[in-house]
Chains A and B, each alone.
Chain A
Amino acid sequence: MTGHVSFDGSTASIDAVQRAAYRLSDRISCDIAAGEGSIEVTVHPAEPDADVEALIGELRNEVLDQVLRERIRGETADVRNLVLAVAFSKTGLVESDG
């Protein structure tokens, strides 16, 4: 038995949906398609007698977390790169541009 869930494309990116589906890929496989302003996901449980609605609920929650992770990555990318650049400076592990 398969299930279907739709995500609003203005609040979740396809990357976030894919990351969420990957995290649950021990229990579900997914067909992910970009619709008009939405992301359509067909969920196939790995176990035939699995509770599809419960798995879709998990996927929804995971997508929310992935959206948040995406925001954190975006907001902190510069400082993350700065920290690592400072950390690896003078170690001989990064080549100077000069």
Chain B
Amino acid sequence: MAKFLDPEAYRAQSADWQLLPFRFERINGRVLVTNLVGEHLFLDAEEFGQLSKGDLPADSPLVRRLRAKHVIRESGDDLPVELLAIKARTRYRRLSEFTALHILVASLRCEHSCPYCQVSRQSSDKGAYDMSSETAAIALDSVFRSPSQNIKIEFQGGEPLLNFELIEEVVATARQRNETEGKNLGFVIATNLALLDDRVIEFCRANNVYISTSLDGPADLHNKNRPRPGRNSWELATAGIQRVREELGVDRVSALMTTTRSSLGRVIEIIDVYVEQGLTSVFLRPLSPYGFAIKTKSFAAYDVDAWLPFFEEGLDYIIELNRAGIPMVEQYSAIVLKKMLTNDDPGYVDLTSPAGIGIGAIVYNYDGDVYASDEGRMLAEMGDKTFRLGNLHQDSYEEIMLSDALLGPLEESFTQSAPMCSDCAFEPYCGADPTYHHATTGDFLGRKPTSGFCRRNMAIFKLLLDRYESDAFTRSLFQTWASH
């Protein structure tokens, strides 16, 4: 008896096809088709014509491609529906396990005076801008109320190491509580590393704490972006990176960069610094259009059209580095590619719908105010408290998570029902980002045809798909990034 059925058994029995939900965009003479969960294929105009007219043969390579991507199904065949449901469930699984990232603002004080930073204070008054033990204890109650099994507590500032005692206290208490809570608990300190010392190193080693730092590229660029007494921010940051790598392990430190106008045109130099520092990922991200970033136009302002060539040149350079055997990941691309090439969703706050505010990440400010996102906190510093959900000392967990300040923007920005988004083939890769649209247009949804967020992300999606299709090496590289 044969182990396998004859190939004829798998052949479609008729040409009675039914469409499954799909969306399409025309790109440079071809048509991108994405199914309900974002799996994609490109069709040429003739193939798309056959699909749209319902003029498909009983069997052909095109029919097999369309069936494989759940764009059509044979009448009466329920398997594609079941598979799509499983994939959709995987994609949206974070909804029932919300708020994995909890940001505690340990102190607003900072010894840097970065011109684009909205929140830091130059103050020696510890009492005025540091989070108290009492506030931190209530914040931890909120942290452990979150349904998410994976909990990451990230200490931010200002410079959180200026209130290191509080970090020690929170980590100790959280670990103790977690003996009964049983969460997958992790800790990150977002620091400029200028205050890194033996005590911090030993603490991070003992408690498995990760370090997230800032590295804007070459010394002159970094130090211009990040002034501090001594004008040695870059020297301290790179020395700190090396120390953490050597003493705690190479994976224990990662770096983020801020792209100011001075960065544009220097992306290769910036990436080279990351390579020199032994880092294997870089996050080419634009400056957010919030607060001082808008106000200090002479320092930081640039538009999407100025940023996109920076990103494209950087991405191509990173691909070539990998081709030459030097591992480097572009983080934003990796997030998008995971959404494009797998059924998983990394839950990146800016690229989810429903939006990630509050349910992906939440911010506890030093004074107990709770914000739906870090950008919401920055807006509040500029006088716009739209994304303030409440205060730990006055409001319960339920009042905070069910507040109109959270549910309103979540509902209004939902891309699956938003004009243009609901029909957009890129929607499964994109996100709602009500904070961006509120900051730039005054409403949570924004007008997509004129939205810088939409323009930037559409360009990135097209660029990634173009490179993915361009050659076998890049295809394989992107698949590796997607599976990270």
B21 and A80 form a contact (CB under 8 A): yes
**Are A93 and B88 neighbours in the complex by a CB distance under 8 Å?**
no
Once the chains bind, are A26 and B36 in contact (CB under 8 Å)? no
Interface segment among B89-97, B275-283, B293-301, B473-481: the answer is B89-97
Number of interface residues of A (CB under 8 A): 25
Q: Which of B21, B26, B419, B447 lies in contact with A76, CB distance below 8 A?
A: B21
B19 touches A22 (CB 8 A): no
Chain A residues, CB < 8 A from B95? 91, 93
Give min CB distance, A39 to chain B, whole Å: 18
| A26-B450, A69-B423, A92-B96 as given contacts; A87 in contact with B21, CB under 8 Å | no
Given A23-B449, A68-B52, residue A87 in contact with residue B88 (CB < 8 A): yes
A83 touches B450 (CB 8 A): no
- In chain A, residues 1-60, which have Cβ atoms closer than 8 Å to a Cβ of chain B? 19, 22-26
Is B420 within 8 A of A72, CB to CB?
no
A75 to B52 Cα, complex, angstroms: 12
With A65-B26, A83-B84: A25-B20 Cβ-Cβ less than 8 Å: no
Contacts A22-B420, A93-B96; is A83 near B447 (CB within 8 Å)?
A: no
B22 at interface (Cβ–Cβ under 8 A)?
yes
* Residues from chain B with Cβ under 8 Å of A83 in the complex: 21, 36, 81, 84-85, 88
Partner of A25, one of B36, B88, B93, B450: B450
For A93, what are the chain B residues with a Cβ–Cβ distance below 8 Å?
Answer: 95-96
Query: Which residues of chain B are within 8 angstroms of A69 by Cβ–Cβ distance?
Result: 23-24, 423
Q: Is the CB of B92 within 8 A of A25?
A: no
The main secondary structure of chain A at its interface with chain B is: helix
- Asked if B6 is an interface residue, CB under 8 A from chain A, the answer is no
Cβ contact within 8 Å between B92 and A76: no
Q: Are A79 and B21 in contact, with the CB atoms below 8 A?
A: yes
CB neighbours of B419 from chain A (8 A): 19, 22
Provide the residues of chain B in CB contact with A75, threshold 8 Å.
18-19
In the complex, the answer to whether A79 meets B85 with C-beta atoms within 8 Å is: no
CA distance A75 to B19 in the complex (A): 7
Interfacial chain B residues near A82, Cβ < 8 Å: 81, 85
A87 proximity list for chain B (CB < 8 A): 84-86, 88-89, 92
Residues of B in contact with A, size category: 20 to 34
Complex Cα–Cα for A86 and B22 (A): 18
Are B89 and A24 in contact, CB atoms less than 8 angstroms apart? no
* CB <8 Å contact, A91 and B96: yes
B66-91: CB near A (< 8 Å → 1, else 0) gives 00000000000000011011101100
B419: min CB distance to chain A, Å: 6
Question: How far apart sit A22 and B450, CA to CA, in the bound complex (Å)?
Answer: 10
A96: min CB distance to chain B, Å: 15
Q: Which residue of B lies closest to A25 (CB)?
A: B449
User: Are B423 and A76 in contact, with the CB atoms below 8 A?
Assistant: no
Inter-chain CA distance A79–B82, complex, in Å, is 10
Task: Give the docked Cα–Cα distance between A26 and B96 (Å).
Answer: 37
* B423 neighbours in A (Cβ, 8 Å): 19, 66, 69
* A91 to B84 Cα, complex, angstroms: 16
Whole-angstrom CA separation of A88 from B92 in the bound complex: 9
Name the residue on B nearest A66 (C-beta).
B423
**For chain B residues 430-477, which have a beta carbon within 8 Å of chain A?**
447, 449-450
Q: What is the distance, in angstroms, from A61's C-beta to the closest C-beta of chain B?
A: 8
* B420/A91 in contact, CB under 8 A: no
Given A72-B21, A76-B20, A82-B81: A23 and B36 interface contact (C-beta under 8 Å): no
Asked whether, in the complex, the Cβ of B22 is within 8 Å of the Cβ of A72, the reply is yes
* Of listed A24, A25, A79, residue having the most chain B CB within 10 A: A79
In the complex formed, the residue of B with least CB distance to A91 is B96
The residues in B between 86 and 118 inclusive whose CB is less than 8 angstroms from any CB of A are 86, 88-89, 92-93, 95-96
* A26 cross-chain contacts in B, Cβ below 8 A: 449-450
Contacts of B447 in A (CB 8 A): 25
Q: Across the interface, which residues of B come within 8 angstroms of A25, CB to CB?
A: 447, 449-450
Contacts of B96 in A (CB 8 A): 91-93
Q: Within the complex, what minimum Cβ distance (angstroms) separates A15 from chain B?
A: 11
A3 to chain B, nearest CB (A): 18
Name the B residues within 8 Å of A86 (CB-CB). 81-82, 85, 89
Residue of A nearest to B92 (CB): A87
Residues of A within 8 A of B93 (CB): 91
Which residues from 36 to 55 on chain B have a C-beta closer than 8 Å to any C-beta of chain A? 36, 52
**Given the complex of chains A and B, what is the CA–CA distance between A22 and B419 in angstroms?**
8
Residue ID in chain A nearest B424 by CB atoms: A23
State A84–B36 Cα separation when bound (angstroms). Answer: 10
Closest 3 CB pairs of A and B: A86-B85, A87-B88, A26-B449
B-binding residues in A (CB < 8 A): 19, 22-26, 65-66, 68-69, 72-73, 75-76, 79-80, 82-84, 86-88, 91-93
A-B contact pairs, 16 of them (CB 8 A): A65-B26, A68-B24, A69-B23, A69-B423, A72-B21, A75-B19, A82-B81, A82-B85, A83-B21, A83-B81, A83-B85, A86-B89, A87-B84, A87-B85, A87-B89, A91-B96
Known contacts A23-B449, A25-B449; 8 additional CB pairs below 8 A are A25-B447, A66-B423, A75-B19, A79-B18, A83-B21, A83-B36, A87-B89, A93-B95
